[in-house]
């Protein structure tokens, strides 16, 4: 089903943007795992809307409740189910959109697929709101991976044409890792951070939106996980990443820039560090032949500008079959990149945990 992902650590999400509740069922957590509520709350806070002027004004506290699968905070082997109440919906803002689909939203294709019965409010099940329950499951996956010494870091690589500096993930120090994990707008360069925030505010002032690039690195991933061809590590990660609304592209390692290199520049020479096999460079992004190489897995994700903007746009009337104008009401992010970053990290954790469980069988 399209609402489920994973084989060994399997998640199924349910609900819509304006339904009474949204939630997730997680299957595959061993009995005896102590749930890290602090990490779940921290990640939900970083993802949630309404915290600052760079996000939508919709204010959801995202207080979650685990309703099954645990006893006194310890998993019991049954599927774990968690829910979050939706409390700050303004569904009337979306009434006009039943007839006038928003450009670059799922409104029109969903209207066709579901014969007009699609939930238009807040985007229904197509909304970024659905990444909140993914964040609950992803936090559990992140915590389990940390116990295996596998760490995932994410940062904003660019907003519009403003770029952060490059990072050498092979030699990254622990302080940078901690800073990225705790920063609500994670970048390396403080000047780039300031410029990126200004770009978002400029777009907001123009009743527009702006996109960007999120970079994710998976550190301390051992060699040998994954499969060639259809179940390659890139395939599994990409499948997961494209489940997050707003994603338009992904590249691993040197990505598209590798097309401008010679083989002698792109190849990553091996060497021994005591008994460990390492590579001097990491253009391959930690994956060769679909299998992990023990180098950091590094990939970048293109996140589009928020589709809902206040500018008047062209659309159609589905009822009258006429060309119309549309001014979108409601509360929307001038850039979804800072909040999408958390969702992308969480779905990555889910995918990597699923891969490691499969590889350890």
> From the annotation, which residues make up the binding site for NADP(+)?
47, 53
> What b/e readout covers 38-63, taking b as 16+ CB neighbours within 10 angstroms?
eebebbbebbbbeeeebbbebebebe
The tokens for 74 are 């310890």
The helix (run of H) or strand (run of E) holding residue 215 is: strand 212-219
- The rounded radius of gyration (Å) of the Cα atoms in the chain is 21
Please report, in range form, the residues annotated as the binding site for FMN: 289, 304-308, 331
CA distance 110 to 97: 12
- CB distance 356 to 148 below 8 Å: yes
Direct distance between the N- and C-terminal alpha carbons of the chain, in angstroms, rounded to an integer: 25
| C-alpha torsion angle, residues 345, 349, 355, 361 (rounded to 10) | 170
The Cα 35–Cα 70 span in angstroms is: 9
Q: How far apart are CA 91 and CA 204, in angstroms?
A: 22
C-alpha distances out from residue 319 to 12, 116, 122, 324, Å: 35, 11, 21, 11
CA dihedral defined by 40, 91, 207, 319, rounded to 10 degrees? 130
| Binding region | 47, 53, 289, 304-308, 331
Say whether 230 sits in a helix, a strand or coil. helix
Sheet containing 64-68, strands listed edge to edge, beginning at the edge strand earlier in sequence:
4-5, 10-14, 21-27, 80-85, 64-68
Helix (H) or strand (E) segment spanning residue 338: helix 337-359
Do residues 122 and 129 touch, judged by C-beta distance below 8 A?
yes
* DSSP, residue by residue, 117-145: ----GGGGGGSGGGHHHHHHHHHHHHHHH
């Amino acid at each position: 089903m399209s609402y489920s992902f994973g084989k060994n650590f399997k998640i199924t999400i349910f609900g819509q943007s304006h339904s009474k509740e949204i939630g997730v069922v997680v299957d595959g957590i061993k009995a005896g795992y102590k749930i890290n509520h602090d990490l779940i709350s921290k990640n939900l806070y970083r993802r949630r809307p309404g915290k600052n002027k760079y996000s939508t004004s919709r204010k959801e506290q995202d207080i979650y409740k685990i309703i099954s699968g645990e006893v006194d905070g310890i998993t019991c082997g049954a599927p774990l189910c968690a829910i979050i109440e939706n409390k700050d919906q303004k569904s009337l803002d979306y009434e006009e959109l039943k007839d006038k689909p928003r450009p670059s939203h799922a409104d029109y294709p969903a209207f066709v697929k579901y014969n007009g019965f699609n939930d238009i409010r807040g985007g229904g099940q197509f909304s970024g709101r659905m990444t909140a329950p993914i964040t609950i499951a992803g936090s559990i996956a992140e915590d389990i991976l940390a116990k295996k010494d596998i760490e995932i870091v994410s940062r904003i690589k660019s907003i519009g044409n403003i770029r952060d500096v490059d990072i050498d993930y092979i030699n990254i120090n622990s302080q940078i890792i901690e800073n990225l994990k705790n920063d609500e707008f994670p970048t390396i360069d403080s000047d780039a951070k300031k410029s990126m925030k200004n770009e978002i505010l400029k777009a907001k002032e123009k009743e527009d939106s702006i996109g960007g690039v999120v970079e994710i690195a998976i550190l301390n991933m051992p060699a040998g996980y994954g499969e060639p061809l259809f179940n390659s590590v890139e395939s599994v990660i990409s499948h997961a990443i494209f489940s997050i609304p707003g994603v338009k592209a992904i590249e691993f390692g040197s990505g598209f820039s590798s097309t401008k290199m010679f083989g002698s520049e792109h190849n990553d020479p091996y060497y021994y560090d005591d008994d460990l096999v390492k590579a001097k460079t990491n253009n391959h992004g930690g994956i060769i032949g679909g299998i992990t190489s023990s180098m950091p897995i590094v990939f970048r994700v293109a996140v589009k500008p928020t589709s809902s903007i206040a500018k008047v746009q062209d659309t159609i009337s589905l009822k009258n079959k006429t060309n119309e104008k549309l001014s979108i009401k409601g509360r929307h992010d001038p850039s979804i990149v800072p909040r999408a970053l958390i969702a992308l990290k969480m779905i990555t954790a889910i995918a990597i945990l699923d891969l490691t469980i499969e590889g350890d069988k």
